[in-house]
């Protein structure tokens, strides 16, 4: 795999392990009519093969890559940082290539710094990603008064899994997620999200992505999918633990296996969960 966009010394073959560090959000709100806990997910349509097709539509948790705010301390551990793509390098996203022997040290570094909400080395709160994704999926300018955030803990995938990221397709990847519960507290925003859920079918979203590709774009389109939280949880719990780590179809929509990351009630052999024992009333602004 060419590494022209990466920095650092040493043979490229030594840097065979990709590390992806992200925040994922268990986004919830009460249904305005019956109070049922609803789970919004980001619904993404992507045209594969450089815009030639086919179109893949899936839903995944709101969230995204953790930004490296100060690279110097991380460089002490791994040397020059080798980003997995030019895009990750430009955005300073924690998607890097390392020798497999460095994974444990990198993991402990991330756990230590992401636990601190005021950390100056890694982006440890979800606000920026939430604002960007609400703008992209709902055309909403999210404000801090509309939601409350509670840290839930961490999920780690220690065993490498080939990534579906188009920039580094099939690269063996380990993952670390900082998990938050985000409660939407403004009633009008809840109604806006429910209305957006009905705006596009998966087929409609796929056509928007195709149109974007034909017009020279990235071949992507985003919207929101909202399902009852208990329906999603129970659908996974019906499966044997060894069969849960997979995509699943609910109400005709494909849910990415990453949805399991935010479902602490669902045991998954591939995940090391580190859930925090905190009061349910402790929220961060």
The DSSP result for 45-108, as a single string, is EEE-GGGTS-EEEEEE-EEEEPBBS--HHHHHHHSS-EESSHHHHHHTBSEEEE-GGGHHHHHH
Tokens of 225: 């999918």
- Upper half-sphere CA count for residue 106 (Cβ side, 13 Å): 26
Mean pLDDT of 95-124: 97
pLDDT of residue 129: 94
The larger pLDDT score, comparing residue 2 to residue 109, is at 109
pLDDT of residue 170: 81
pLDDT band at 99 (very low <50, low <70, confident <90, very high): very high
**112-129 pLDDT, tens per residue?**
999 999 999 999 999 999
pLDDT surpasses 70 at 11? no
> H or E segment at 43?
strand 37-47
The larger pLDDT score, comparing residue 138 to residue 50, is at 138
- Rounded percentage of the chain residues whose pLDDT exceeds 70: 90
> H or E segment at 159?
strand 147-162
**164-193 pLDDT, tens per residue?**
776 777 889 999 999 999 999 999 999 999
Locus of tokens 């955005």: 91
């Amino acid at each position: 795999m060419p590494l022209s966009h990466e920095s650092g010394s040493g043979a490229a073959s030594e840097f065979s392990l990709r590390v992806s560090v992200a925040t994922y959000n268990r986004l919830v709100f009460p249904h305005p009519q019956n109070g049922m806990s609803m789970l919004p997910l980001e619904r993404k349509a992507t045209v594969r093969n450089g815009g030639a097709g086919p179109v893949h539509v899936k839903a995944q948790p709101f969230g995204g890559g953790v930004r490296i705010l100060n690279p110097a301390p991380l460089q002490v551990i791994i040397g020059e940082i080798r980003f997995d793509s030019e895009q990750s390098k430009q955005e300073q996203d924690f998607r890097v290539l390392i020798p497999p022997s460095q994974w444990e040290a990198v993991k402990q570094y991330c756990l230590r710094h992401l636990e601190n909400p005021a950390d100056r080395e890694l982006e440890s709160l979800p606000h920026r990603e939430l604002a960007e994704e609400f703008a992209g999926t709902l055309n909403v300018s999210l404000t801090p008064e509309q939601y409350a955030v509670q840290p839930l803990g961490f999920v780690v995938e220690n065993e490498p899994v080939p990534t579906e990221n188009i920039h580094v397709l099939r690269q063996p990847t380990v993952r670390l997620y900082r998990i938050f519960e985000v409660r939407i507290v403004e009633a009008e925003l809840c109604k806006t999200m429910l209305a957006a859920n009905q705006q596009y079918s998966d087929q409609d979203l796929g056509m928007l992505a195709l149109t974007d590709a034909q017009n020279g774009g990235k071949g992507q389109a985003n919207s929101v999918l909202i399902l009852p939280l208990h329906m999603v949880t129970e659908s996974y719990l019906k499966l044997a633990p060894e069969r849960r780590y997979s995509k699943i179809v609910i109400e005709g929509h494909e849910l990415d296996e990453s949805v399991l990351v935010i479902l602490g009630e669902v045991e998954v052999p591939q995940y090391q969960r580190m859930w925090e024992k905190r009061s349910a009333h402790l929220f961060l602004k």
